[in-house]
Amino acid sequence: MHSDALDLDTDVLVIGGGPAGTWAAWAAAKRGADVILVDKGYCGSSGATAPSGTGVWMVPPVKDDREKAKAQREALGGYLSDHDWMDRVLDRTWRNMDLVESWGYPFPREDGAALRRGLQGPEYMKLMRKVVNRAGVEILDHSPALELLVDRDGAVAGARGVQRQADRPWTIRAGAVVIATGGCAFLSKALGCNNNTGDGYLFAAEAGGELSGMEFSSQFAVSTAFGSVTKTAHYSWAVFTNEAGEDLNAVKDGHYSASTIGRALLSGPVYAQLSKARERPEVQAFLRYAQPNFFLPLDRSGINPFTQRFPVTLTLEGTVRGTGGIRIADGSCASTVPGLYAAGDAATRELICGAFTGGGSHNAAWAMSSGSWAGEGAAEHALELGAGSNARHVSGAGGAGYHDSWASASASDPGADAVIAGVQDEMLPLDKNLFRTELGLRSSLGKLDALWESLRTAHGASARDQQRSRESAALVATARWAYTSALERRETRGMHRRADFPALDPQQQHYQIVSGLERVRLRNEKHAPSIETRVSAAVR
Amino acid sequence: MIELVSASRCIECNICVRVCPTNVFDVVADAAPTIARQSDCQTCFLCEAYCPADALFVAADAHRHVEVSEQQLAADGILGSYRRSLGWSPGGDPAALHETAHVLRRMAGPGTIG
C-alpha cells in the first residue's frame, strides 16, 4: 500500500468538474453539506464546455414562448421528450442564469440589459471554479475516480481513485455521490471531449444502475479534417462540396445534414467554405466575435474560410452531443441506486431532447438544472443519513480493468491502448455508427464482447496506467450498451439511423433501458420518470 | 497538439501543468515544463489561454506532430493570440462582453444549432 494515500470524509462527493459538476457542488454546499469535487483533469478546463462556447436554452417565463420552445424540437426528437421535464428545466435555467449574472459573468449588453443567451466556455468555467471555491467546496484536480464504494445494502457510500500528478491513491467516504463525468466521445478528440470516456456510466452500472437511450450515441459533428474544433453553428453559412467542386446541397434551413456529408465522405473528401458570408464583411466580423475558437485551426493553417475551401470530416461526439446516459429515477436526479445521483451529459437528456442532439443550448440548460437538482438531492440524502454514515462498512464496486492490489498485467492482456483502438475501430467509422445495420451492429458487438472478455485486471501500476485501464473498460462497456440498444431499435428515430429500417415506427415510441456488464440486459419503458422526488428507501 | 513550450518566455509558474485537462506536461525543477505526453493533448488551446507569458503554442493539427518555429510564430504575432482574443491578456476586456451570437441568430434565422 501507499503510505501517503489520501483518505477523506465528506457529505457529498461530486465526480466531474464541468458545468453539471460545479452546479451540483455549489447546490449541495448551499444546502449545508460538506462537499468534495474530484476532477480527472482541472476543474475549469475539463470537459466539453470549457474550451468551447454554447448557447443556453433560455426562454422567458411567458406561456406562448415556452410552448413554442418545447414544440420546436419535439418532432426532431422523435417524441421522446417530456413536457413536465422541459417546463422544469426552462424554469430552473432561467433562475440559474440570474445567479450567473449576479456572480459577475460578463454578458454582452444591449440597451442596458444583459443578453443572456449564451456562455463562452473559458469565461464560464473560470467563474464556476471561483463560485465553487467560494462556497467552501474542496476541489481535487487531476484526481480521476476509478470505482464507487458501496455499503452492505448496496447504497453508494463514496469512491476511490488516484491522484495522477502525486501518483497516489485516494479514498473518499461520502453520504451521497453525484456523477457528473460528462458523456462519451470515444477519445475522438472532439473539442474538449477526451476526458469524457464514459467512466460515470461504468461506475453507475457496476453499482447496479441503469442507462437510458444509449442508442442515441451517434452524434457526429463537422470539423476541419485535421483539427479538433467541432463548433458547427457557423456552417450554416457554408457550402459543402466534393472533390470535383460539386455542391452537395448539404445545408437546409440553417442546418447541415450529417447524413448527406457522411455519405459523401464514404466516397471521397468533402470541403466546406463559408461562401454565404464571402461578400459580407460585417457578418465575417460577427462570426469571429461569436466564436473565436472556430477560427483557431483555420487561422493557424493559413486558411481564409470565406474565400478558400478547406477539407472537413465528421468527428464522433457520441453521447456528449447525443442524449443517452444514466437513467434518472425522479426529480432529484437520483439514479436507481440509493445514494447515487447523475447530472449533465452523464445523465440521459432524452427528457428534454428526445432522440435529437442536445448539443449546445439544451445540454447547457440541462447541465445547470440537473446539476442543481442532483446537488440538492445528494445533500438532503447525506444530511438525513447523518454523521455516522461514513462509518458504514464499504467495499469497492469496480470490476473490469481494475484491481485493488495494483496488479500487473497478465501475459495475454492486450493492453489498454490496444483495447481503446479496438473500440474506436467499431465506433468511429461512419459506415458502422452513423449508418447502422443489423449485420454491422452484430459484427461490432461480437468484437466488443471479445474486448470485454480481455479486460480482467489493470494494465500497469502507475496512476496513469490505472486511469487508462479503467477508461478502456468504460469505453468498451459504453460501446456495448450503445450498440445493444441500437440493434434493438429497429427503426430510424432522431440521430439513430438504421440503413435497414429508414422510417420511424410509432410502435417504438419508448425508452430503451440497459443495465449489466457481463451480460447486457435491455427493457422498454413507456413513460418518463416522475418529476416528484421520492425519498430514497435507504433514508427511510 | 501542443508543440511549443518556449524556454525563453517561460516564467516557470507551472500553471500549464495544473490547468491542462489531459495532463500532458511534467514539472521540471528550475526549468520550463516539458511536454511529456503529447499524444494525450486534445487540442483544446486552454493552456495557451491560461499561460501568463504567452510561451505556449498549440498547432491546429490534432492527430499528428508538426514542426514549428518559435521565431516565426513570434514574428507572425501568433504566440498569445488566443489569450488576446479571449480578452485575457493584461489590460484586455473579456471577449464575452462583445459576444455576437445573438446578432448572428437574427441574421441566420432561428434554430441554428450551436
**Per-residue 3-state assignment (H helix, E strand, C coil) for A64-98:** HHHHHHHHHCCCCCCCCCCHHHHHHHHHHHHHHHH
Q: What are phi and psi of A107, to 5 degrees?
A: -70, 145
**Cell digits for A284?**
465575417
Distance of residue A438 Cα from the nearest chain B Cα, in angstroms = 30
Q: Is there a contact between A164 and B94 if contact means CB atoms under 8 Å apart?
A: no
Q: Which residues contact A350 (CB under 8 A, 6 or more apart)?
A: A77, A80, A81, A212, A213, A216, A323, A324, A511, A528
Provide, as residue numbers in chain A, all residues whose Cβ is less than 8 Å from the Cβ of B109.
253-254
Q: Is the pLDDT of residue A506 over 80?
A: yes
CATH code of the domain occupying B2-108: 3.30.70.20
Mean pLDDT of A229-240: 92
Mean pLDDT of A486-501: 97
Q: Is there a contact between B109 and A253 if contact means CB atoms under 8 Å apart?
A: yes
Mean pLDDT of A241-252: 96
For residue A392, give the DSSP letter.
Answer: S
In sign, the C-alpha dihedral spanning A493, A516, A533, A333 is negative
Residue A533's pLDDT is 79
User: B59: nearest CA in chain A?
Assistant: A300
User: A299: nearest CA in chain B?
Assistant: B60
Mean pLDDT of A108-134: 94
Residue A374's pLDDT is 98
Q: Is there a contact between B44 and A254 if contact means CB atoms under 8 Å apart?
A: no
Contact A297, A226 (CB under 8 A): yes
> Where residue A49 falls among pLDDT bands split at 50, 70, 90?
very high
Q: Is the pLDDT of residue A405 over 70?
A: no
> Is A38 in a helix, a strand, or coil?
strand
Provide, as residue numbers in chain A, all residues whose Cβ is less than 8 Å from the Cβ of B40.
194
Residue A460's pLDDT is 65
Residue A290's pLDDT is 83
Residue among B43, B98, B104 whose CB faces A108 most closely: B98
Superfamily name with CATH number, domain A10-215+319-396 = FAD/NAD(P)-binding domain (3.50.50.60)
Q: Is there a contact between B43 and A287 if contact means CB atoms under 8 Å apart?
A: no
Residue A410's pLDDT is 52
Distance of residue B20 Cα from the nearest chain A Cα, in angstroms = 7
Mean pLDDT of B41-68: 97
**Could you read off the pLDDT of A87-106 as tens digits, one per residue?**
999 999 999 999 999 999 99
Percent of chain B with pLDDT over 90: 83
Distance of residue A289 Cα from the nearest chain B Cα, in angstroms = 5
Work out the mean pLDDT of chain B and round it to a whole number.
91
Provide, as residue numbers in chain A, all residues whose Cβ is less than 8 Å from the Cβ of B113.
232-233, 255, 357, 359-360
Provide, as residue numbers in chain B, all residues whose Cβ is less than 8 Å from the Cβ of A292.
82, 85-86, 95
Provide, as residue numbers in chain B, all residues whose Cβ is less than 8 Å from the Cβ of A291.
101
Q: Going by DSSP bridges, is the β-strand pair A35-38/A6-15 parallel, antiparallel, or unpaired? A: parallel
Q: Is there a contact between B96 and A107 if contact means CB atoms under 8 Å apart?
A: yes
Residue A96's pLDDT is 98
Q: Is the pLDDT of residue A166 over 80?
A: yes
Residue A470's pLDDT is 93
Per-residue burial over A152-161, b = 16 or more CB atoms within 10 Å of its CB, e = otherwise: eeebbbbbbb
Provide, as residue numbers in chain B, all residues whose Cβ is less than 8 Å from the Cβ of A189.
42-43, 62-63
Residue among B18, B62, B85 whose CB faces A189 most closely: B62
Fold of A219-318: Flavocytochrome C3; Chain A, domain 1 (3.90.700)
User: B37: nearest CA in chain A?
Assistant: A464
Which residues does B contribute to its contact with A (CB < 8 Å)? 17-23, 40, 42-46, 49-50, 59-63, 78, 81-82, 85-86, 88, 94-105, 107-109, 111-114
In this predicted structure, which of A458-467, A491-500, A507-516 has the lowest mean pLDDT?
Answer: A458-467
Residue among A118, A301, A360 whose CB faces B99 most closely: A118
Q: Is the pLDDT of residue A197 over 90?
A: yes
> Where residue A457 falls among pLDDT bands split at 50, 70, 90?
low
Q: Is there a contact between B114 and A192 if contact means CB atoms under 8 Å apart?
A: no
Return d(Cα A521, Cα A537) in angstroms, integer: 24
Contact A432, A440 (CB under 8 A): yes
User: A164: nearest CA in chain B?
Assistant: B23
Q: Which residues contact A187 (CB under 8 A, 6 or more apart)?
A: A194, A197, A420, A424, A471, A475
Residue A447's pLDDT is 97
Q: Is there a contact between A286 and B114 if contact means CB atoms under 8 Å apart?
A: no
Q: Is the pLDDT of residue A536 over 60?
A: no
Element (H, E) at A205: helix A199-206
> Residue A489: what residue type?
R
Q: Which residue has the cell 466539453?
A: A48
Helix boundaries (H) for A61-192:
63-72, 83-102, 121-134
Return d(Cα A239, Cα A474) in angstroms, integer: 38
Q: Is there a contact between A253 and B111 if contact means CB atoms under 8 Å apart?
A: yes
Residue B114's pLDDT is 39
**Cell digits for A152?**
452492505
Q: Which residue has the cell 420546436?
A: A72
Distance of residue A395 Cα from the nearest chain B Cα, in angstroms = 29
Return d(Cα A197, Cα A190) in angstroms, integer: 12
Q: Is the pLDDT of residue B112 over 80?
A: no
> Is B56 in a helix, a strand, or coil?
strand
CA–chain centroid gap for A436, Å, is 22
Q: Is the pLDDT of residue A289 over 90?
A: no
Q: Is there a contact between A141 and B18 if contact means CB atoms under 8 Å apart?
A: yes
> Where residue B83 falls among pLDDT bands split at 50, 70, 90?
very high
Provide, as residue numbers in chain A, all residues whose Cβ is less than 8 Å from the Cβ of B25.
none
Q: Is the pLDDT of residue A403 over 80?
A: no
> Which residue did the predictor score with more confidence, A53 or A219?
A219
Mean pLDDT of A280-297: 89
Residue A108's pLDDT is 92
Provide, as residue numbers in chain A, all residues whose Cβ is less than 8 Å from the Cβ of B23.
41, 142, 164-165, 464
> Residue A63: what residue type?
K
Q: Is there a contact between B104 and A46 if contact means CB atoms under 8 Å apart?
A: no
Work out the mean pLDDT of chain A and round it to a whole number.
93
Q: Going by DSSP bridges, is the β-strand pair A35-38/A138-140 parallel, antiparallel, or unpaired? A: parallel
Q: What is chain B's alpha carbon radius of gyration, rounded to the nearest angstrom?
A: 16
Element (H, E) at A221: strand A219-224
Provide, as residue numbers in chain B, all residues whose Cβ is less than 8 Å from the Cβ of A358.
none
Q: Is the pLDDT of residue A499 over 50?
A: yes
Residue among A189, A237, A255 whose CB faces B113 most closely: A255
**Cell digits for A360?**
449546445
Q: Is the pLDDT of residue A539 over 50?
A: no
User: B39: nearest CA in chain A?
Assistant: A189
> Where residue A404 falls among pLDDT bands split at 50, 70, 90?
very low
Mean pLDDT of A26-35: 98
Chain A to chain B Cβ contacts (< 8 Å): 163
**Could you read off the pLDDT of A67-87 as tens digits, one per residue?**
999 998 888 899 999 999 999
Q: Is there a contact between B104 and A286 if contact means CB atoms under 8 Å apart?
A: yes
Q: Is the pLDDT of residue A201 over 70?
A: yes
Q: Is the pLDDT of residue A509 over 70?
A: yes
Provide, as residue numbers in chain B, all residues whose Cβ is less than 8 Å from the Cβ of A115.
102
Residue A265's pLDDT is 98
**Could you read off the pLDDT of A381-399 as tens digits, one per residue?**
999 998 788 889 999 998 8
Q: How many CA atoms lie within 13 A of B91 on its CB side?
A: 0
Domain ranges in chain B? 2-108
> Where residue A413 falls among pLDDT bands split at 50, 70, 90?
low
Residue B108's pLDDT is 56
